Structure 1
């Protein structure tokens, strides 16, 4: 049972706990959410929290369990408690931990009432053009993906988790429908796909051939012989191309493709032609590991023929992104967060990576959304009218 669980059972807010103990709201937030006690006066702070909990009706078992759990997170190496040693590795605060990727957090009922919200404007899928944030980098990636679809080019879209790769793919498919382009999207299943068979299932040439053939005929029997299967794929693409269709092979989680399959894709792209016209565009979407894999010597033929487009962090466009999300909900950004709060959020999510000479930005849309949801909940819990610098620092 955690401290936050006990507080919830006692209907005790962080604001009230802070007032009763005299501990700052920032320190209270770190204690409740992360189990991090003040570096100085830890014992005094714990005694004050214990007294407050007891005052609000906490039982002996609640006091014992709540404070024991929170204290265990700060035990030093060498203690005999069975769970203390594993926790110690995470107890040392590093820049990476300060800007870690936060898990999704729904807005509490108190937060929705505090900010007059029925839905969370900083979370959820992009379902309309109004919700689609576009800057120079995103516009470039969109165009590269579009050319793969209509020009049968071989392209790789690379971005960290939460950078917006799935949003970009959905936008591409929506544009194809909106522009009434006759593009057939072929998407092999990547469920359970791994680089080696010891970890999961490798995606091989036969899987890609099967996906192409059955996109045109779901009940088709796919040839077992590699040569016959290649001719079957060529015949299906030729017939469709002669009917005025373009084709785009989309492979998500492409960083999980083994090297032989990447080389096969290059050969497939070159072979599937109708005269001089390529019949199959290829769009690989994956994490930065994909780009590292493409830089290997044994994949050089692919690297020389593929165009790589990267989805970088939002950086200086953080405020514009947040405003876009607020506007899509019919609200103004300053109803939720102050300019100083935005600056602090940018600072918190820009860290010095381990062993890296340059700073590392974690300003990706999904991570920003999760931080904003947490910040709004924290502001409501602290009674702050908006998310400001202090609220962001309390996360």
Structure 2
């Protein structure tokens, strides 16, 4: 089934993307509404329908009435069935309930409108990616632990995996590590191999192979040497170059970003790099940075990489649960000398926390998944501030958060 709304949009020449932008929803969430009659569980459906009707009236659509939310059966007779979410829940596509809910919770990149800045007395976007030094970073006790674990691995050796959801701050910590090495004048060479469009198999993209890693190491520690052709000679040359660099007083840290896209074969080969030694000294420390798929690949149950797993410490960047969200918001607005209460009230913060917390079941057990990471929080707050400014309300409240 699909909503009559889809035909109305098509006849008026209006795109679903424009409606999504007006509603401050993701394209996926609007597509589920229009194409399947699947309304986001985390939003007030009545308020959302009113906003859609207001959009249609603003665009001059003549038949902008409640009938656009009726469903039409695509097969058979053109029977119309009223989709009343209270009495007759609309079935969602099988197997995608959690995905649809998460799509409706997360927004694409939001931009703070000039009118919003004026409304709240802000001269900059508090959630813009404008970190220029370590002092601009929000550092909670959890982040401080991961930050220090990365530095100690780079300085003293080890194999570390840093795992977080997208937008959790992994890239910021990687940049911070490089900045700290330079700022504190440590004799550490940070080596970052990468392959454009890296994937874990050659059908989806390009894989980062052990050869690429070896080339990146040689380019960092012995850039003038011509790399040997045979694999055995190349690896011996690499070992020799690392020994000479170590004897000159340098430590070496291999940092692989997007490590969840590493193939199993490359993960297995990391053991050989990690075991490069000079006496009792390890010549190369390794930091893997990736999304939760990396944790799955490095599972103790995965026999293919058991030798790497046994040597690898894993740390996770956790979401802003509990009071951490309040601290994060105070830090972000504090950088602009703006009290949090001047922008969002306590009910709004509670609603923000609830909006980005997903509850479901897995294997008949209740499970809560928090999406309270910097990127998701920033996008939702920006959208809510834009909406509050448009409505003319002084601060973001729970109703404003629910209206995004």
| TM-score > 0.5, shorter chain as reference | yes
Aligned to 2:81: none
Equivalent position SS for 1:357: strand
Distance 1:241 1:149 in 2: 14
Q: Deviations over 1:54-94 (max 9, x none)?
A: xxxx6xxx425x959x987864553699xxxxx9968x986
Conservation of the 8 A alpha-carbon contact between 2:56 and 2:64: no
* Structure 1 unaligned spans of 5+: 15-29, 82-86
Shift of 1:38: 8.2
Distance 2:263 2:218 in 1: 22
Aligned to 1:287: 291
Change (3 A) 1:265 1:379: same
Q: Deviations over 1:93-113 (max 9, x none)?
A: 868247532111111122111
- Taking structure 2 as the reference length, what is the TM-score of the superposition? 0.79
Matches within 5 A, 1:52-201: 53=58, 62-63=60-61, 67=64, 75-78=71-74, 96-97=101-102, 100-201=105-206
Aligned to 1:386: 395
Matches within 5 A, 1:17-36: none
Equivalent position SS for 1:302: helix
Change (3 A) 1:357 1:129: same
- Aligned residue among 345, 349, 352 for 1:338: 345
Change (3 A) 1:294 1:75: same
Number of aligned residue pairs: give it.
356
Bigger relative contact order, structure 1 or 2 (CA pairs below 8 A, ≥6 apart): 1
- Aligned residue among 288, 297, 303 for 2:309: 303
Q: Deviations over 1:172-226 (max 9, x none)?
A: 1111122210110111013221111111111111111111111234454322211
Change (3 A) 1:335 1:190: farther
Shift of 1:117: 1.9
Distance 1:71 1:229 in 2: 71
Shift of 1:388: 0.9
- Which of the pair is proportionally richer in helix? 1
Aligned to 2:10: none
Shift of 1:126: 2.4
Conservation of the 8 A alpha-carbon contact between 1:125 and 1:167: no
Q: Deviations over 1:245-299 (max 9, x none)?
A: 11100000111111121111112111x1111111111000011111111111111
Shift of 1:234: 0.8
Equivalent position SS for 1:320: helix
Distance 1:42 1:169 in 2: 40
Equivalent position SS for 2:252: strand
Change (3 A) 1:365 1:73: farther
Conservation of the 8 A alpha-carbon contact between 1:131 and 1:324: no
Aligned to 1:250: 255
Equivalent position SS for 2:316: strand
Matches within 5 A, 1:39-58: 49=54, 53=58
Equivalent position SS for 1:315: coil
Distance 1:71 1:188 in 2: 56
Change (3 A) 1:278 1:195: same
Aligned to 2:5: none
Aligned to 1:27: none
| Counterpart check, 1:364 vs 2:373 | yes
Distance 1:354 1:46 in 2: 31
Equivalent position SS for 1:262: helix
- Aligned residue among 333, 337, 353 for 1:326: 333
Distance 2:206 2:303 in 1: 24
Equivalent position SS for 2:347: helix
Change (3 A) 1:42 1:111: closer
Equivalent position SS for 1:358: strand
Shift of 1:129: 3.2
Shift of 1:322: 0.8
Equivalent position SS for 2:196: coil
Distance 2:56 2:251 in 1: 71
Shift of 1:153: 0.9
